[in-house]
Homo-oligomer: A and B are copies of this chain.
Amino acid sequence: MIADRMKPLVENNSAIRMMFEEGKKMAAEFGSENVYDFSLGNPNVPAPECVKQALVDILNEEDPVFVHGYMSNAGYEDVRQTIAESLNRRFGTSFAGKNLVMVCGAASGLNIILKTILNPGEEVVVFAPYFLEYGNYVRNFDGRLTVISPDTATFQPNLAEFEAKISEKTRAVIVNSPHNPTGVVYSEDTVKELAAIMDRKQKEYGHPIFLVSDEPYRELAYDGVEVPYLTKYYANTFVGYSYSKSLSLPGERIGYVVVPDEMEDSGKVLAALGIANRVIGSVNAPSLMQRVIARCVDARTDVEAYDRNRNLLYQSLRSYGFECIKPQGAFYLFVKSPEEDEKAFCAKAKEKHILIVPGSSFACPGYVRIAYCVSYETIQNSLPAFSALAEDYGLKPEA
């Protein structure tokens, strides 16, 4: 009954989403306080108070026909202008409202970017570990994915392999910093080197190669680390942003795409993005939430809460003998599996009611992702289970 291209998607349904469903069932069976669900990047920190206040104020102050009505497919002009000005203040950019298209979250943003630029058979480069959905998005437009293998020492992008694997067919490169699932932030030096490689390759092949920066975790950076704004380093850059994490609104599907004036043919590209938004069926980003964003443009989630979680979980797991780099951003730990088959490790963790995602769901087997966007109490309560798991594997506590 279903289309041939859908069959593998149904058969290999997202392991992360399956675990989310599983977690809900286990919570119902054992009580949610007895299940340590680290499977999904679903923020536990509530949206900042500004969001509720903005919603109430809009409902009281603005015309409902305007607030809930159609607007341009690219979004309300005033909302886009407000966001552009906020970006300019924070990153020294020079965007106007016309440089932005409001979208239904980062996933939709990536889809309309790829619909706008990708021809069948063209290649999109990603760096493992990577969010496997990228592959589905690329295949939505009959593109092909080129995967750069992970540098498991640092989880910074493997730029030597990158340069070797860019080909005449390469149309775009997707990067994600702060990074899911490792928490790595690309340094300015990394970004400059990446941009230099892409510039050389653009000249060599005589056609644009787009950088697509998937940035839902931009605001989640710890210890004062800076997240470079990529349009300043490379002209043919799309930025895909989402408020899912920065304002804890993942269910609301609200974000934007930025196209800098420096991109070749930026006006036509922006027009195409608006049309792609319409034609893939999103039509426009949800209207009320667009208006909320304009009123909360500089509001942020409680990053300190995630930082506390990060420190407690990182230090505890290290003390039990698990191996892991310390994340600089996002809300994930990417932990080396104590046995080669990390799916077996996830299954053993599940016996202790710990739900974590195998690294093979990010094209990086041998590791597991632990999403620490949960309550501090969940982490505290889970520690005896993690400790017992380490003991089962005979891990040596740190000296």
Contacts and interface: CB of A to CB of B under 8 A. Distances in A.
B117 A1 contact: yes
Given A1-B264, A43-B65, A115-B3, A280 B280 contact: yes
A268 interface: yes
Contacts of A271: 10, 13
A254 to B, nearest CB: 8
Contacts of A253: 104, 282-286
Nearest to A244: B70
A370 to B, nearest CB: 17
A9 interface: yes
Copies of this protein chain in the complex: 2
A133 interface: yes
Nearest to A136: B279
Contacts of A283: 104-105, 107-108, 253
A285 B104 CA distance: 9
A341 to B, nearest CB: 26
A64 B42 contact: no
Interface stretch (A14-22, A195-203, A308-316): A14-22
A278 B59 contact: no
B70 A20 contact: yes
Interface of A: 1-6, 9-10, 13-14, 17, 20-21, 40, 42-47, 51-52, 55-56, 59, 63-65, 67-73, 104-105, 107-112, 115-119, 133, 136-137, 140-141, 208, 248-253, 263-265, 268-269, 271-272, 275-276, 278-289
12 contacts: A4-B119, A6-B116, A6-B275, A10-B271, A10-B272, A14-B278, A70-B250, A70-B251, A104-B282, A107-B282, A136-B279, A251-B287
* The 5 residue pairs across chains A and B that have the minimum distance between CB atoms: A251-B287, A111-B281, A108-B281, A107-B281, A1-B265
